[in-house]
Amino acid sequence: MQSIPYHNGPLPSKQLETLQSALLAWYERQRRDLPWRATDDPYAKLVAEVMLQQTQVDRVIPKYREFLGLFPTFEALAEAARAEVIRAWSSLGYNMRAVRLHDIARRVVEEHGGTLPSDPATLRTFKGLGPYTVAALASFAFGRDAAVVDTNVRRVLTRLAGYTERPSPKELDALAQSVLPAGRSPDWNQAMMDLGATVCLPRPRCGACPIEAHCASAPVFKRGDGAIAEQRAAYAAPRQSMFEGSTRYYRGRVVEALRLAPNGLRLSQLRDVVQPEAALTEFAALVEGLRRDGLVEVYAGGDAGAAVVQLP
């Protein structure tokens, strides 16, 4: 993978320091007021990062506050019933995250005395914490010099270095780490995220960018009035399949229906509410997948359709 190099070579250290200072100063002035930035509690940071994995910031903010009101500590979450946690997750989608977070809380309490381990190697052993979330916790919860690369940061980095094709994850991680200022990991990572979310958009606002002078792509984008930026494969978001009608869509509808039915529903009733066009055997297979994932419980009835399904 080739990139347009900075000034025909690596970015000189003094110029990198200038870039870092400019972005951090911009962040101090323009930072978004997000509730998880106002706490040093690793538990609250974990809740935020799990919620943010596949959900937009604006949707997460009210649920984050509500969830912490219900479950303010690892101990409170660990002691809660699984059904209570799933109900509290309502509207966020990707309900397996609620199950994984509940399991993490129980393990933290049982194995680590209620304190989230700070060691990234240990964090990686928790199911549901992938490389991105581990890096985010290392930086935001524990202040380690770890680069955090989400979709917005990837867009900023690839433009900054002048990539015209999508770099490999290894290349991108190396680039992210190379520009990270030592000892400023939390502010730097959040500054990069804010820049990507508000300025370095799919069609960028280069004139408002605090590091425009250091960006290899800015001159090209400005000549093309930003239109070329949306066409580069380096940071174009991959197309996703339609959600409605997918297995994930119906799984979400099952959980949502059961949130409103504290005593559960017969399988046939649940099918009629969620996917009336499906054969009962097909729908039963969908529910079985949810049972294996710990999202529902199934109690056998006189026949398949009479089985009772409810949140665990």
Q: What is the pLDDT of residues 28-46, one digit of tens each?
A: 999 999 999 999 999 999 9
> What confidence category does residue 227 fall into, taking pLDDT thresholds of 50, 70 and 90?
low
pLDDT of residue 91: 85
> What confidence category does residue 11 fall into, taking pLDDT thresholds of 50, 70 and 90?
low
Report the phi/psi class of residue 183: left, alpha or beta, with left for phi > 0 and alpha for psi in -120 to 50: left
The chain-wide mean pLDDT, for the chain, equals: 89
Give the active site residue among 49, 79, 212, 230. 49
> What order of strands is seen across the sheet that includes strand 265-266?
265-266, 308-310, 297-299
Q: What is the pLDDT of residues 254-264, one digit of tens each?
A: 999 998 888 89
pLDDT of residue 8: 46
Cβ–Cβ under 8 Å, residues 160 and 214: yes
Residue 142, pLDDT above cutoff 80: yes
pLDDT of residue 232: 58
pLDDT of residue 7: 42
**One domain, residues 50 and 119:** yes
Q: What is the mean pLDDT of residues 262-277?
A: 90
pLDDT of residue 302: 63
Residue 82 belongs to domain with CATH number: 1.10.340.30
pLDDT of residue 64: 97
**One domain, residues 162 and 194:** yes
Residue 23, pLDDT above cutoff 80: yes
Cβ–Cβ under 8 Å, residues 113 and 199: no
Residue 3, pLDDT above cutoff 80: no
299 domain residue, yes or no: yes
**One domain, residues 221 and 301:** no
Question: Domain total for the chain?
Answer: 3
**One domain, residues 155 and 222:** yes
Q: Which domain holds residue 212?
A: 6-33+147-231
Buried b (16+ CB within 10 A) or exposed e, 8-34: eeebeeeebeebbebbeebbeeeeeeb
pLDDT of residue 244: 65
**One domain, residues 180 and 210:** yes
Q: Rounded to 5 degrees, what angle do the CA atoms 53, 173, 219 make?
A: 100
195 domain residue, yes or no: yes
CA atoms within 13 A on the CB side of 192: 27
**d(C-alpha 213, C-alpha 276), whole Å:** 58
Boundary (domain end) residue, out of 165, 197, 231: 231
Between residues 237 and 20, the one the model is more confident about: 20
Q: Is 28 a catalytic residue?
A: no
Surface-to-core class of residue 260, CB atoms within 10 Å of its CB (0-12 exposed, 13-18 middle, 19+ buried): exposed
**d(C-alpha 52, C-alpha 204), whole Å:** 23
Tokens coding 36: 């998880």
> What confidence category does residue 179 fall into, taking pLDDT thresholds of 50, 70 and 90?
very high
User: Which residue carries 């960006």 as its tokens?
Assistant: 215
**One domain, residues 277 and 257:** yes
Write the CA distances from 33 to 37, 38, 57, integer angstroms. 8, 8, 11
